[in-house]
Amino acid sequence: MFFSGLEDPRGENRRHLLGDIVFIACCAVICGAESWDDIELYGQSKLEWLETQLSLPHGIPSDDTFRRVFNALDPKKFEEAFRSWISELASRVAGDIIAIDGKRLRGAFRASKESLIHQVSAWSCHHQLVLGQVRTDSKSNEITAIPELLKLLDIKGAVITIDAMGTQKKIAKQIVEQGADYVLALKGNHSTLQRDVIDYFSYLQQQGLSVPVDCVHESVDKGHGRLEVRRCEVVTDIEWLQDRSRWAGLRSLIKIQSEVQHLKEQRTTTETRYYISSLTHSAETFSHIIRSHWQIENNLHWVLDVCFSEDASLIHSPNAAENFSLLRKIALGLLKQDSTKGSLKRAGWSNSFLLSIISSLHSHMS
């Protein structure tokens, strides 16, 4: 099975089974554990129940054992096992929107400035799962990490969304060669292309020219003291664009203008963003795709920080921090859309609820 195939990094004198260690750690993190001490305390508190699920030849491992094992465990091998498990949960990605973005493990940085850890993750908007992650040393290295991450994934038929850092010609080409499409944010890192796109949309507005009806879409959202009007415009006639041949599959330019009325402060802010894409969808569809990209912030990064306290973690050994981060993502994948503090508490209080959550994981540990 997927996790049972992990190579044990320890010598012959090991007393605890690797599968037991990983299983206890996963359960503990689902129940809110934030450190190796927490994981041992969880194991001791749930010993009677865990004995019905695991071998535990020498009882519950100590916090030092958890620390040593996850520090020694090869993150790439753990990630491979994770992706194998995820591939069963998200066996089909055709038509999915896969958002790619990076996140710094801030707690690890505070604990040791020499151990700065930055990760790039791929998030399935349809399945609400992390499909994979790659570690890099800094945000600037996302440009090299994104191609590595894409190579690990089957993205055929999916739409890949990336912020401006990943808007690179080689990345666009790789996405197309892997059978997917892209929607990439356009900012100052491609100033000439950005200026051409901005100028063209401005020209259309100044001349009073309009794009086809299905190339314009407006939506209104109200909530949290804000009234937001979003307007999406799409241009598919791009023969005039000098750089078009340098971007694999480039077929559309997108402009998103957002006007937000802050009702309590009685003020209005306006933001305009631009994108390039290999698709020729309607403006309404592009608006949905671009909004879906923010799931990786709201449903992944925010949940990791608020529900799993990732930013507060002081685990700074590179392997251990990366592996603990993957434990959080496993927990997130098992909880899916019910990743709240309440769910973590309920999992800790109710063995039957926890068992219903980890059923798919348990079968791959034995």
The tens digit of pLDDT for each residue in 173-197 reads 999 999 999 999 999 889 899 999 9
- In which residue are the tokens 């507060």 written? 312
pLDDT reported for residue 365? 54
Asked whether residue 143 carries a pLDDT value surpassing 50, the answer given is: yes
Compute the average pLDDT of residues 41-66.
95
Stated pTM of the model: 0.88
Asked whether residue 69 carries a pLDDT value surpassing 50, the answer given is: yes
Q: Would you kindly state where each structural domain of the chain is located, as residue ranges?
A: 3-85+309-362, 192-285
DSSP secondary structure letters along 17-77: -HHHHHHHHHHHHHTT--SHHHHHHHHHHTHHHHTTTS--TTSSPPHHHHHHHHHHS-HHH
pLDDT reported for residue 313? 85
- Per DSSP, the chain holds a count of helices (H) and strands (E) of 15, 9
pLDDT reported for residue 125? 94
Q: Tell me the pLDDT band of 357, cut-offs 50, 70 and 90.
A: confident
pLDDT reported for residue 360? 58
What would the two tokens of residue 133 be? 């992650």
pLDDT reported for residue 109? 47
pLDDT reported for residue 111? 46
In angstroms, rounded to a whole number, what is the distance separating the alpha carbons of residues 284 and 217? 5
Higher pLDDT, residue 302 or 222: 302
Asked whether residue 124 carries a pLDDT value surpassing 90, the answer given is: yes
Asked whether residue 90 carries a pLDDT value surpassing 90, the answer given is: no
Higher pLDDT, residue 48 or 114: 48
Least Cα distance to 116 among 360, 325, 321 occurs for: 321
Asked whether residue 130 carries a pLDDT value surpassing 50, the answer given is: yes
Round the average pLDDT of the chain to a whole number and report it.
88
* Fold that domain 192-285 belongs to in CATH: S-adenosyl-L-methionine-dependent methyltransferases (2.20.130)
In angstroms, rounded to a whole number, what is the distance separating the alpha carbons of residues 361 and 24? 11
In angstroms, rounded to a whole number, what is the distance separating the alpha carbons of residues 358 and 365? 11
CA 197 distance to own-chain centroid: 29
Sign of CA dihedral 117, 123, 129, 134: negative
What would the two tokens of residue 350 be? 């109710």
The string of pLDDT tens digits covering residues 24-52 is 999 999 999 999 999 999 999 999 999 99
Higher pLDDT, residue 252 or 117: 252
Q: Tell me the pLDDT band of 110, cut-offs 50, 70 and 90.
A: very low
Sheet-wide strand order for 181-186: 129-136, 118-124, 97-104, 159-162, 181-186, 267-277, 252-262, 226-235, 216-223
Segment of 188-192, 246-250, 359-363 carrying the highest mean pLDDT: 246-250
In angstroms, rounded to a whole number, what is the distance separating the alpha carbons of residues 185 and 99? 12
Asked whether residue 329 carries a pLDDT value surpassing 80, the answer given is: yes
- 257 contacts 272 by C-beta, under 8 angstroms: yes
Q: Tell me the pLDDT band of 162, cut-offs 50, 70 and 90.
A: very high
- In which residue are the tokens 């992944």 written? 300
